[in-house]
């Protein structure tokens, strides 16, 4: 753990995409990264992918104090480890986790690190996990989204946010593991109790939904229905393991789920669209006693209406932010599953771009044209 006031000498300069104002382009600037506290690691970022959570921060839906460096799906290598870091060394290949946790609060004791009191309390401030800054620009502190700040050549993170994976793992594909892939695969393998031969429905085929489809495949389900209005996404869903693909028409989807289950409905529905219609569809399409996992989200002040009858009959509803992630054990496993050829990450990368292309990359994500654009920094593959 970091000791207050204990610092290393390291202070490096890095090019970074800095968000100074919501709903405005990020600017590429030189920032100072460090110095390290005893529990930190300094990473050279090799690849960072563009996720909707960053977009929420850009658009002001996710409150982040500015100026800030966003970027939370990233991979890199350890350049320096703080004095108290014993399990990481220089040159280690790591994937960033956005769930550092204190390990001793009420929620950590309940094995719910995603609810860690320190994690949630310090989140909006967007400094380091200990609440103090690590980045600066012309002596003014710069914030780091989710304690990370991956849209930069270097970042400094708590050691527990840097998860070592196989050296054989390409950086650009490793970057995907830390958020969207973990959330989607985890929904199927950590949250849902999927049985061999079950029928699963996945609503929304962005990075999270496509990962959920792959998680369902890894769990051995019998049929996977992918639901998305975008024909290219449905095609990709089929390539990644969906056995059936439908438009987002609710009646058609419910009918298909019932036709595959003797009229009961899907055993498990994983929602990854973040639309009120998707939340409603999830409850209409699941069978009595079935499981619904909501991964998407809408505005925190928004209200979503349901037909009461759709909530009846012993349905189990779970809302998850990170797919039940336990990054230290799950990220190496996901990486190995990719290396074994059982998790397709190659086809989830829509574009490889430079740091200077970041604003256009987010515009493309917002338009729904890309699943994942990955910013390639030096030596990314």
* Positions in the binding site for Zn ion (CB under 5 A): 51, 53, 101-102, 105, 108, 116, 179
Nearer to Zn ion, 121 or 363 (CB): 121
Q: 291 or 350: whose CB is closer to Zn ion?
A: 350
| C-beta of 58 vs 116, nearer to Zn ion | 116
Contact 190, 184 (CB under 8 A): no
Supply angle C-alpha 133, 134, 140, rounded to 5: 65
d(CA 343, CA 329): 16
Q: Report the length, in residues, of the chain.
A: 381
Backbone phi, then psi, for 33, in 5-degree steps? -115, 125
Angle between helical axes of 231-240 and 207-219 (0-180°, round to 10): 30
In the complex, minimum distance from the CB of residue 208 to Zn ion, in angstroms, rounded to a whole number: 8
Output the smallest distance, CB 52 to Zn ion, in A: 7
Q: Which is nearer to Zn ion, 72 or 164 (CB)?
A: 72
Q: Is 190 helix (H, G, I), strand (E, B) or coil?
A: helix
Can you say how many angstroms the Cα of residue 53 is from the centroid of all Cα atoms in its chain?
A: 8
Q: How far apart are the C-alpha atoms of 321 and 259, rounded to whole Å?
A: 31
Supply the minimum distance, in Å, between the C-beta of residue 115 and Zn ion. 8
Rounded least distance, CB 297 to Zn ion, Å: 12
DSSP 373: E
Beta-sheet strands, E only, within 117-264: 135-137, 140-144, 154-158, 162-164, 199-203, 223-227, 244-246
Minimum CB distance to Zn ion, residue 71 (Å): 9
Number of H-type helices and E-type strands within the chain: 11, 18
Structure tokens at 41: 């690691």
Give whichever of 53 and 374 is closer to Zn ion, judged by the CB atom. Answer: 53
Q: Which is nearer to Zn ion, 31 or 179 (CB)?
A: 179
* Distance of closest approach, residue 183 Cβ to Zn ion, in angstroms: 7
CB nearer to Zn ion: give 286 or 334.
Answer: 334
Is 135 within 8 Å of 66 (Cβ atoms)? Answer: no
CB of 252 to Zn ion, least distance (A): 30
């Amino acid at each position: 753990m970091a000791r207050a006031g204990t610092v290393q000498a390291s202070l490096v300069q890095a090019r970074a995409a800095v968000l100074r104002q919501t709903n405005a382009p990020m600017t590429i600037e030189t920032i100072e990264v460090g110095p390290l506290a005893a529990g930190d690691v300094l990473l050279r970022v090799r690849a960072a992918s563009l996720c909707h959570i960053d977009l929420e921060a850009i658009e002001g839906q996710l409150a982040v104090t500015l100026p800030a460096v966003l970027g939370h799906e990233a991979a890199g290598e350890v350049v320096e480890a703080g004095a108290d870091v014993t399990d990481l060394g220089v040159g280690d290949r790591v994937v960033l986790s956005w769930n550092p946790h204190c390990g001793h609060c009420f929620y950590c004791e309940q094995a719910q690190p995603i609810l860690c009191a320190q994690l949630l309390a310090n989140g909006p401030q967007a400094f380091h996990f200990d609440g103090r800054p690590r980045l600066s620009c012309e002596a003014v502190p710069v914030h780091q989204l989710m304690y990370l700040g991956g849209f930069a050549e270097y970042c400094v993170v708590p050691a527990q946010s840097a998860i070592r994976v196989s050296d054989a793992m390409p950086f650009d594909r490793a970057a995907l593991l830390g958020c969207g892939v973990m959330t989607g695969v985890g929904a199927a393998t950590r949250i849902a109790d999927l049985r061999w031969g079950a029928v699963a429905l996945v609503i929304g085929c962005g990075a999270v939904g496509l990962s959920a489809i792959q998680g369902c495949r890894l769990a051995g389900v019998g049929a996977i229905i992918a639901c998305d209005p975008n024909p290219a996404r449905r095609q990709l869903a089929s390539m990644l393991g969906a056995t059936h693909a439908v438009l987002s028409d609710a009646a058609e989807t419910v009918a298909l789920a019932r036709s595959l289950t003797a009229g009961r409905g899907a055993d498990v529905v994983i929602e990854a669209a973040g639309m009120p219609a998707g939340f409603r569809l999830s409850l209409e399409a699941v069978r009595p006693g079935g499981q619904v996992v909501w991964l998407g989200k809408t505005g925190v002040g928004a209200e979503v209406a349901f037909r009461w009858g759709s909530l009846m009959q012993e349905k189990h509803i779970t809302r998850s932010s990170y797919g039940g992630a336990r990054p230290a054990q799950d990220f190496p496993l996901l990486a190995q599953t990719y290396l074994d050829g059982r998790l397709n990450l190659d086809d989830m990368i829509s574009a490889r771009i430079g740091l200077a292309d970041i604003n256009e990359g987010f515009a493309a994500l917002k338009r729904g044209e890309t699943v994942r654009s990955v910013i390639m920094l030096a030596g990314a593959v």
